[in-house]
Structure 1
Amino acid sequence: MTPKATLKRHADLLDRMADQVGVDLQQAAISGAVSLDQLSDAVLRCAECPDPACCARGLAGEGFGGKPPEFCRNREMLGRLRRISRGQS
């Protein structure tokens, strides 16, 4: 897979994971809850995952129970954005 294809794949996985946990990444960026640099870094962290196929299977199936899985390298960021989107700082 080319580097560009890898980044696109992981950007999609990150977006799908965010959707599953109730985070709209576009709205989070517009509101200033996350910067574009932070989103870029999140995609790069995702691309470093040793088993993206597990994530893809989980997202295609029953999901992860509304929370990122323990192995997710963006778990903390997604949790923070979820709390912000629910007004729970």
Structure 2
Amino acid sequence: MSGQSKYDEHTELVEKMAAVLGVDLTEEAMAGNWTPEDMQATVSRCLGCTDPAHCKGWLEDQQEDAAHAPGYCRNKDLLEAMRTRLVSA
């Protein structure tokens, strides 16, 4: 892996997936709704993905905010719940 650790790669995927869904993890952390432990658990789930290249491709294809994460995303339920909470607020 060219200079980027697998953990860093999946951290980036989590951050991009959240952003595509309209969830700003930095804002969530500042509001006290997202902790470093939450991020670690989310990245750990992402690390279990068997095809991160497919996820990267899906993320690159997104032109606007996506309504849903792809079905194979191990953090789909979590990120969509965050999105729903933010939209409802």
CA shift, 1:87, in A, is 2.7
- RMSD of aligned alpha carbons: 1.9
Give the percent of matched residue pairs that are identical in Structure 1 and Structure 2.
30
- Matching residue's letter, 1:22: G
Runs of 4+ in 1 over 4 A off after TM superposition: none
What is residue 26 of structure 1 aligned with on the other side? 26
For 1:31-79, what per-residue CA distance to the aligned partner results, in whole angstroms no more than 9, with x for missing partners? 122222011110111011011010001111236x711111101011101
List runs of 5+ in structure 2 lacking aligned partners: none
TM-score normalised by structure 2 residue count = 0.85
Q: How many residues get paired?
A: 86
Work out whether residues 69 and 75 of structure 1, in 8 Å CA contact, stay in contact via their aligned partners in 2.
Answer: yes
Structure 1 residue runs of 5 or longer lacking an equivalent are none
**Aligned-partner residue type, residue 77 of structure 1:** L
